[in-house]
Amino acid sequence: MSIPNSYLTLAAATEGLYKDKGSKFIACAHPVKDLEEIKFQLDLLKGEHPKARHICYAYRLGFSPEDSRAQDDGEPAGSAGKPILNTILSHNIHFTLVAVVRYFGGTLLGVPGLIHAYKEASLDALSQAKIIEIEPEEHVLISFSYAELNKVMKICKKMPVKIVRQEIDNLCKFELSFPIKVKNEVLALLESYQ
């Protein structure tokens, strides 16, 4: 699957809450970049809520169905993770984790009640989120002679290219970042000077 020119994600973490028959569902939505960050956020939640009965979650990292996961954490199959994932999908957001911490209130909600509760908690968190549009970027490392520096700088000014890191010497080394949608054009211009 190809990477789109832009995608939606969360600007910052948010929380949501849903209560039913004494059970409390605390939803936490986070922008995330990879599995490591997801594990870190889940570990934080487990530390903050050691008495919680369940911490169910779903995430969507990329742009294909394989980049999404849902976890029921001991709740009946499909009653927690899937409704959370569906809220992420319905908002069409990427690189997002939504985790819902459940404190059991003593009354069983049944599978339909659980589905409703996890969905509502997730929706509450996402309804409070600021959703932003991101343009995926390409990062490249280039090397060129000092004599070519002026030409490379002109390309960086002409195109939407950011210089992330630079070493200027007889052999210059630059790390450049630019939107994927202009990748072919930028690379063609850079190659014409090398």
Segments making up each domain of the chain, as ranges = 7-133, 136-192
**Does the structure show a pLDDT above 80 at 193?**
no
Q: What is the pLDDT of residue 2?
A: 65
CATH code for residues 136-192: 3.30.70.260
**Does the structure show a pLDDT above 90 at 102?**
yes
The string of pLDDT tens digits covering residues 29-63 is 999 999 999 999 999 999 999 999 899 999 999 88
Task: Output the 3-class SS for 115-162.
Answer: HHHHHHHHHHHHHCCCEEEECCEEEEEEEEEHHHHHHHHHHHHHCCCE
**Does the structure show a pLDDT above 90 at 190?**
no
Q: What is the pLDDT of residue 40?
A: 97
Q: What is the pLDDT of residue 194?
A: 57
pLDDT band at 135 (very low <50, low <70, confident <90, very high): confident
CATH code for residues 7-133: 3.30.230.30
